A and B are shown apart, each in its own frame.
Chain A
Amino acid sequence: MSANKEIKKTEARSSLAKMFGGSAFQSLLIPTLAVFIGLVIGGLVIAATDAGVAEAFKNFSSDPGAAFKSIWTAIATAYGALFYGSLGSPREIIAGFKALQATGDNDAFLKAIYPLTESLVTATPYIFAGLAVAIGFRCGLFNIGAEGQFFMGALGAAYVGYSLKGLPWFVHLPLAILGGGLAGAIWGAVPGYLKAKFGAHEVVNTIMMNWIAFRLSDWLLTGPMMTAGFRPVTPNIQKTAELPRFFEDPLRFNWGFVLALVVAWLVYWFLFKTTLGFEIRSVGANPDGSKYAGMSVVRNFVLVMVLSGALAGLAGSAQVLGVDHWVGQGFSAGYGFDAIALALLGKSHPLGVVLSAILFGILRSGATRMQSLAGIPIDIISIIQGLVIIFVAAPAIIRWLFRIRISTGDETVLTRGWGK
C-alpha cells in the first residue's frame, strides 16, 4: 500500500517536472512556437486576401518596396486591431488608474480595462470546455462532443435559472450551476456508456450527440423553453441565479472566471493526487495493463465521460449565468473544436489548459474587434487554431522547421483505433 503511494508520488512529481520543473523551457517551447507559426501563417492568409496588397502587387515591377510594405501594413493593421481589441493599451490603463487615484472617478479606468476583462470573460467557458476534453485525453478518450454538452449545460442552467422563483441566491445559484453540469454529464454519459458496453467509438457518437443536441435545442427554443414573443430564445434567468459581476454594467467580468480557476485546480488535484485519478491516467496510458492490475477499464470510461460532460456543461452554466443570462440558437457554435485545440495545446494538463484558454480568449475576443476594424472575418481564428493543433500534434515539424533538437519527453498516445 505504502509502496503504491510512493510510486504515485514519484509519478506525479515527474510529470510535474516534465510540465514545469527542470524542463519548463522545453515543454513550453513547442506550444509557443506552434502558436507563433500559426499566427505567421494566419498573417500570410490575411495579407493574401487583402485588397490593398493585391493593388500594390499590380505595380510590383515598378515599386517592389511598396508591395512588401503593403503586406506589412495589412498584417500589422489586423493584428494591431486584434491585440488592441483583446488587451487594451497599457498607456490607457495606467492613465485611467491615475485618474482613478486622483479623482476617484473610475470611468476611464473601466473603459481602459474593458478589452482585457472581455478576454477573460471569453476565456471562462474555454477553461471549462478545455478541461472537459483534457480529462478525456488523460483516459484515452476523445470527447468531440463538448459543443453539444456545452449547449445542453447552458439549457439546463437556464432552465433552473428562470423556472425556479423566490429562492435566495445562495440556493438558487448553486442549483443553476449544477443544473448545467448535470445536463452536460447526461450528454457525456451516453457515449461513455455505449463505449464501455458496446465498444462504440466515442468520436462518432459524441458528434452524433452534438447534432442531436442542436436539433433538440431547435425544438426546445421554439417550443417548451421559448420566451413570450417571437424570438427563439429562453426567458431571462432570475436575478438570484446570476453569477455576480465585479464591475458595473458594460463590464461583464464575473465570478465565473474564479469558479473556472477553482475547478481547474480541483481537476488537477483529482487527476494527480487521488487514487481514482491515478486509475484514470493509468487506463489512458495502458488499458490492458490496467485491466491486468485489477482496474475496471469500462467503469473508468463511463466515469471520465460523465466528468467530461459535466465540465463542458459547467462551461454552459458559466456562460449563461455570468454573461448572457439567456440562451439562443447557435449558442455553442465552435466551442467543441476550440476546446480540443486548447486541450492539445495545454498538453491535457489543467494549468496548461488554463493558460491556453486565456490565449484563446484573447484571440477570440480580439478577432471580433479585428472583424469590425480591419474587415477580416472572425473565421481566421479557426484557421490559426487548426494550424496550431497540427504543429502541437507534430512536434517533428517544429523541430524540423527550427532545426532544434529536443525531446518533448512524453508524446502520449491520445487516441486509439475503432472499437478497441
Chain B
Amino acid sequence: MAVQSTSQHTAQRNRLTVGGILIVFGLLIFLLFTPGTEAGQVAKFGMNLKSSAALPIPDITLPVQASIYALSILVVFLGAFQMARGIRSAGALFGIVAFAFVAAFLIWATKGKSLSLIGMLSSSLVRATPIALAALCGVISERAAVVNIGIEGIMLISAQASVVAATMSGSMTLGLIVGVLVGALVAAFHAFLVIRFKVDQIVSGVAINIFATGATSFLSSKYLQHQGDLLNNSGTYPIIQIPLLSKIPVLGPILFENNLVVYLMLLIVIVMHIVLYYTPWGLRTRAVGEHPKAADTLGINVFFVRYVNVIVGGMIAGLGGVYFTLGSVGRFDEVMTAGKGFIGLAAMIFGNWNPIGAFTSSLIFGFADSLQIKMQILSVPIPSSILAMAPYIVTMIVLTGVVGRAIPPAADGVAYEKQ
C-alpha cells in the first residue's frame, strides 16, 4: 500500500515537472522569437523545386507574429494539460513540442524573406544519407552483438579508395565497387580481431579510427595533394529523376530526384528490414545478438553469423564512404567525415537498433544539419559556428533517452566463448 502511494506520488511529481518544462518551452518560444518581428510581416515557404513543375502546388505564406503566438500558446496549453491530466505518450508530446519549437524558429528566421521548404527537406535527406548508412552498418553488426565504433574510419578509407579508383579508371561504377569492397575488408579485419582474438570491441574500433585517419592523411599528403587531377578528381554521380514518381507534389522532388547513393541507401533500409524480421538469416542474427549460447545450442554457427554481419555492415559503411566523395564533392579531403560515423551510431541507438528507426532518426540529424546551412544563407543573427553545433547537441539530447529509452541487443559487445 505504502509502495503504491509512493509510486503514485512520484508519477504525479513527474507529471508536474514535465508539464512545467513544457510551459517554460512555450514561453521560451514567445520570448525568443517575437522580439524584432513586426505586425503584418510574412514568411514565405517554397513548396516546389524548379525542375518539377508538372503539378505545382501553391507556396505557403504565413503571418509571422500570429503563427508564433499560436505555436507558443499550443505548447503552453499542452503543458497545462499535462499538469492537470497527464498525457500518456511522452514520445508524441516531445515530438509536438520539438516540432513547434523548430517551426517557430523557422518562421522567425524567414520573417520578411522566403525559404524553399522542399529544398531544405530534400537536402535533409541527402545530408542524412551518410549518417543513415553508418547507422545501418551499426544495426546489422550490433544485431549480431559486435559493436563497431570504427565506422568513421571505414568511411574515411572507403571515401579515399573510391575516389582514387574512380579517377584512375575513369569509371564511377568501379569507384563504387572498390569503396564497398575496401569497407568490407576493413570490417573483416575488425571482425577478425574481436571474434578470433577477442580484442575489446571498442578499443579495436578506436584503433581502426586512428589508423584510418593516419593512413588516409598520409596518402593524401604524399600523393593526392600533388597529383590531384590524376588521382583525386572523379566528378560526382548525376541526379537521376525517376519518371512519373518525381512528379508527385512535395514527395517527388524530395524522394525521387537524387543520386545513386541516396537510392541505394533507401533500398538498403527496406531490404535490411525484410532480412532482419522476415528471413531465417535475420532470426539467426537476432538470436546470436540476444543469446549466443542458446543459438549455438540450436546449431547456429555464432562466429560465422557474426563475421558475415560485420562484413556486410562494412560494405554498407563503405557505401557511406563513397557518398562523401563520389556522391557529394568528387574529391577527397583529409578527415572529411567530420564525426558522421559517430552521429550514425547515435542514430542507431535512437532508432532502437532497427533499420527503419535508424533511418528516421538519421533524418532528424540530416534536418539539423541542413537547417544550420540554410540559416547561414538567411543570415540569421547567430554566429554560424554556434549553429553548426546543432547536430552534435541534438545527438546528445537524443542519447539521454528522454524521448524513450532504447534497449540494445542483450549480448551486444560481448565476445562469445565457445565451450
Contacts and interface: CB of A to CB of B under 8 A. Distances in A.
Interface in B377-419: 383, 385-386, 388-389, 392-393, 395-396, 399-402, 405-406, 408, 412-414
A385 B400 contact: no
A236 interface: no
Contacts of A216: 385-386, 389
B389 A377 contact: no
B206 interface: yes
B210 A204 contact: no
B213 interface: yes
A413 interface: yes
A394 B415 CA distance: 13
B177 to A, nearest CB: 24
A264 B223 CA distance: 41
Contacts of A199: 401, 405
A397 interface: yes
B210 A337 contact: yes
A265 interface: no
A387 B386 contact: no
A376 B223 CA distance: 11
A403 to B, nearest CB: 16
Contact of B339 (A211, A218, A337, A389): A211
A30 interface: no
B206 A389 contact: yes
Given A390-B193, A394-B197, A337 B206 contact: yes
B385 A215 contact: yes
Contact of B204 (A334, A379, A387, A390): A390
Given A200-B396, A379-B214, A394 B346 contact: no
Interface residues of B, number: 52
Nearest to A376: B222
Interface in B93-141: none
B198 A385 contact: no
Interface in A190-221: 190, 194, 197-201, 203-205, 207-212, 215-216, 218-219
Contacts of B210: 337, 340-341, 382, 385-386, 389
Q: Is the interface of B mostly helix, strand, loop or mixed?
A: helix
B140 to A, nearest CB: 16
Size class of the contact patch on chain A: 35 or more
A369 B370 CA distance: 42
Contacts of B208: 386
B413 A390 contact: no
Nearest to B409: A417
A49 interface: yes
B214 A204 contact: no
A417 B406 CA distance: 13
Contact of B396 (A208, A340, A344): A208
Candidate in B214, B342, B389, B393 with the most chain A CB atoms within 10 angstroms: B214
Interface string B17-44: 0000000000000000000000000000
A414 interface: yes
A199 B207 CA distance: 24
A414 B396 contact: no
A174 interface: no
B260 interface: no
A418 B349 contact: yes
B221 interface: yes
B218 interface: yes
Interface in B181-216: 193, 197-204, 206-215
A304 interface: no
Nearest to A50: B222
A93 interface: no
Contacts of A340: 206, 210
Given A377-B218, A417-B408, A419-B408, A386 B207 contact: yes
Nearest to A334: B213
B147 interface: yes
Interface in A361-420: 376-377, 379-387, 389-390, 393-394, 396-397, 413-419
A383 B413 contact: no
A383 B392 contact: no
A203 B393 CA distance: 15
B342 A382 contact: no
Contact of A387 (B211, B222, B223): B211
Given A208-B392, A380-B214, A219 B399 contact: no
A159 interface: no
A337 B201 CA distance: 16
Interface in A30-53: 45, 49
Contacts of B217: 377, 379, 382
A223 interface: yes
A334 B334 CA distance: 13
B163 interface: no
A400 B13 CA distance: 59
Candidate in A190, A194, A340, A382 with the most chain B CB atoms within 10 angstroms: A382
Interface in A168-191: 190
A215 B399 contact: no
A200 B218 contact: no
Nearest to A344: B203
Contacts of B346: 204, 208
Given A194-B400, A396-B197, A417-B414, A215 B214 contact: no
B147 A218 contact: no
Interface in A103-142: 142
Given A215-B385, A418-B413, A390 B209 contact: no
A208 B397 CA distance: 11
B149 interface: yes
Given A49-B222, A204-B342, A219 B392 contact: no
A199 B213 CA distance: 29
Contacts of B206: 144, 337, 340, 389
15 contacts: A190-B396, A204-B349, A208-B339, A208-B395, A215-B389, A337-B213, A344-B203, A377-B221, A379-B215, A385-B214, A389-B207, A390-B207, A415-B202, A417-B408, A418-B147
Interface of A: 45, 49, 142, 144, 190, 194, 197-201, 203-205, 207-212, 215-216, 218-219, 222-223, 334, 337, 340-341, 344, 376-377, 379-387, 389-390, 393-394, 396-397, 413-419
Given A198-B402, A212-B392, A414-B202, 12 more contacts: A49-B219, A208-B346, A215-B388, A334-B213, A385-B210, A386-B212, A387-B207, A389-B210, A394-B197, A396-B198, A397-B197, A416-B413
- Ranked nearest first, the 6 interchain pairs of A and B with the lowest CB-CB distance are A382-B214, A386-B211, A417-B413, A218-B385, A200-B399, A389-B207
